[in-house]
Every structure is written in C-alpha cells, then in structure tokens.
Structure 1
C-alpha cells in the first residue's frame, strides 16, 4: 500500500484486536502510520497485530480497556498520549458479536448490552479523545457502521440500530467540531470475511441458505476483506475536506 501523509502521532484503533480492526490497524501501518491498539480482552491477538505493525517499521502500542468504563477509557487515552504524543485519527472498530434475532425476540439485557458497548462505548471514547484533538489543532474520527443502515438485513437489528445512533453522533461531531478542524465520517461495513461473519458461520447461524440469499443482494458476488475497510478508513483519515459523510463498503449490497 502506498504511504499516506499522516501527521506526527498515531491512529488509535479501538477494537484493534477484532477481525476487522486488525486489518484496519495493519492497513494504517502499511500506509505509514504509527498505531495505538485499544482492546478489551484479546491480549495475545493484540500482541500479534502489534508485532505485524512493527515488522512494517512502524511504532505500535497496546492499551487494555473496557469501553463501557469511563475511567478506564480515560486512563487508556492518557497512556496513548504519553506513548505517542498525539492522536491524529480515532477509528471505532469495537463491538460484540451480534446475535441474529428478530426485534420482537430481543431481550432487554441483550439490547442494553449492545447499546452499552456500541453507543455508550463510542461516547466514552469521543469524550476522552476530543479535548486532545482540539488542543492539537484537529484530527479525524472514523466510525465503522453497518451497510444495514441503508438496507435492513433481517435479524441484524442489534447491529444496525445502535450503529444508527452513532451515525447521528458522527454528523453531530462533524457539525459542531469542524471549527476546530476536527472531521468525522463513517464507513458502512458490509459482509467482511473476518470476525463476526466467521464466528457466526462457525456456529451455523450463517448457513448456506443465508450465504446464497445474501450474495443475491451483492453487485460483487464475493465477500469483502478487512483491507477493503482499511483503505476506506485511510481515505477518510487523510482527505481533509471530507466530513459528515458515509462511504458504503459492501460490494454493492442492496443496490
């Protein structure tokens, strides 16, 4: 991947040990960025990602945190700042494996957990990083959302609905923080051959019928790869006149 023009400091990839987050973190490193990986529990995976980044001659740091814990997030961001001096881009790639259920069968505990991680977690990360981006003269937020935002996938509400709240949040950041040279954009993520897709396929939730029906909805009859999300995130992080926008990386899902 061709090197991009990044400021001094690092990209913070929240959820950098996840299936898609790993690819995003390594894509940024390949493009010339240092990377801070925030993860919750997958320490060994995070270590492997950091080793891959260092093999590309870029700096990598690891920071464990539960995004639903405001104090833990603030501590992790302080660690990132101490390690790198600046955060120029925040990529939100965190999230649980999304249980595939009709909304009418979604229990309250699962509903609240989805919002706690996706929405309240993103809020905590923004609250902890925004003062730094302001003080540094600007920066960028890149949110990994769902292609279901424009075409509803059956039983995927626990992904689409919380991420839709974050889509509104992204537009609010773009509107209110542009005066500080802070941009915010979102990638609408389709079926990516990593992370949740592989886990739910292993469980049998995504069976051959699901695969056949989903691929009928794709203009490109193949699944995406984490690198497709990574390249879109790099574009949004480096084009300094794009804000408040969504880019749909889904193989033409629902067109």
Structure 2
C-alpha cells in the first residue's frame, strides 16, 4: 500500500497492546485511518479483538489479533517473534493495557494484590520492551504508552493504577535517552478521566455520579475526555509528525491536574 504522510516509510505495523479495550480500539482505528497496518493483542476478549480487526480492515489496512498475557515473558517473546516473522517490521509499540484494579487506600492493599498488579502492568511492559528493542534498533521506531495524571495530582484510592505507571514512565524516559541513537523514540500520554474502557466498568463500583460530577467541576474544561481524543494524541507521538519528539509526556486531562 502507498505510504501516508503520518507513516511515510510505508512498511511494517503498529502493535497495540490491549487493542481490544475501549481506548485501545480507538487507537487501532486512528492508526489505521492514518495509514498503517495494525496488530493488536488481547487478554481474554477474543470477540472484541476480532471486531476491532474487522474495523481496521474496513479502513483499508491489514489487521491481526493475538492473545497475550504480558506478564508471561516467554509468551511475550514468542508472540513478538511471530508478529515480526509475519509482518517484517514493528515500527510502533503502543501500550494501552491496564489491570482491572480495586480502588483502595494504600493501607488497605495487600502485598499479594500489589505484587500481582506490578507484575501484570510494570513487569509486563518491561517484557514487551525487551522483546521488541533488538528488532526496533534495526530500523528505528516509536514507543508510546498510556499513563495517568495521578502522578501530577494524587487521586485517592488509585494507588494500584498510579504506582505501576510511575515505574513505566521512568522506563520510557530511559528508553528515550538510551535508544535515541538507534532512531527509537519514547513518549507518554497521561490521562485523566476518560469516558471509555476501564472507567466505564468502574461506574457504580468505584465512581458514582457525585464523584464524576466533582471530577468535571475540578477540571478546567468541565468534562470527561474521550477515547477519540486519546487516540489523536497517540497518533501524534507514533507518527512522522513527532519525529523530533522523544522523552515527553502529553497531559490529557482537561486541566484536572492544574
């Protein structure tokens, strides 16, 4: 297929970890619409992953979906090797995965619960980085990860989301600094409350109407964000438009952290 202005090299795929979710699926669609083929992974919802792949194909790009538990380093290595063998090049890695966490104060989190989340999120992302870095050093590429504005303004009971992402953010800074010589960029999109994905699953459990309305009032723009807006930010970092941008965080929270 012809190259696009966003992906002028015209070869390879964007790999979206967690591409079957509410935010991940919007990212897959946005990347495809901008002119790149897409590979997505999912943990258990094969039907959702198949639906996303079909949408990508409807936009004129190729798509495939792989089941993947990123905390399993052997499975990550095998899956990434199969993706590279099938598609030739992974030019972009987007980490849009995240654990379905319980909202608890730090003092109420058990050691095993904390370990499981750190393993699934932080160690899992490290596994993906280790599996892809040798490949991406050959022709360059981009890492983009979804983080949280909880690192700027602490959200009560959200430690199991914020703490793993703090470690991932540090890893992204290291990648940006160490791998720039290999034409690899690494950037982060830090989210506030986005009306999609895990947020919707927690409505009525962790977030009630009063909490959501308070969050809107405390933001500068007085509303929640959308998956489409997240996907636009990810596309910028992944694309040729950000070719001289690395080690940066774009805060996408409607001004909540101000």
Question: Do these two structures clear the TM 0.5 threshold for a shared fold by scoring above it?
Answer: yes
Q: How does 1:132-151 map to 2 (within 5 A)?
A: 132-135=135-138, 137-151=139-153
> TM-score when scaled to structure 2?
0.95
Equivalent residue of 1:17, what SS? Answer: coil
> TM-score when scaled to structure 1?
0.96
1:76 is the counterpart of 2:75? no
Q: How does 1:194-213 map to 2 (within 5 A)?
A: 194-201=196-203, 203-213=204-214
1:120 equivalent among 120, 123, 131: 123
Unpaired runs of 5+ residues, structure 2, are none
Change (3 A) 1:22 1:94: same
The residue that corresponds to 1:245 in the other structure is 248
Q: How does 1:77-116 map to 2 (within 5 A)?
A: 77-116=80-119
Residue 5 (structure 1) shift: 2.5
The residue that corresponds to 2:181 in the other structure is 179
Q: Deviations over 1:64-103 (max 9, x none)?
A: 1110111111111112112211000000111111211100
- Kept in 2: contact 1:102–1:155 (CA 8 A): yes
1:59 equivalent among 42, 62, 65: 62
Q: Deviations over 1:173-216 (max 9, x none)?
A: 01111110111011001111111110000x43211221122112
Q: Deviations over 1:100-156 (max 9, x none)?
A: 110011111211111011100000000000011002x21010010001111111111
The residue that corresponds to 2:218 in the other structure is 217
- Kept in 2: contact 1:61–1:83 (CA 8 A): no
CA distance in 1 between counterparts of 2:58 and 2:12 reads: 18
User: How many residues are aligned here?
Assistant: 252
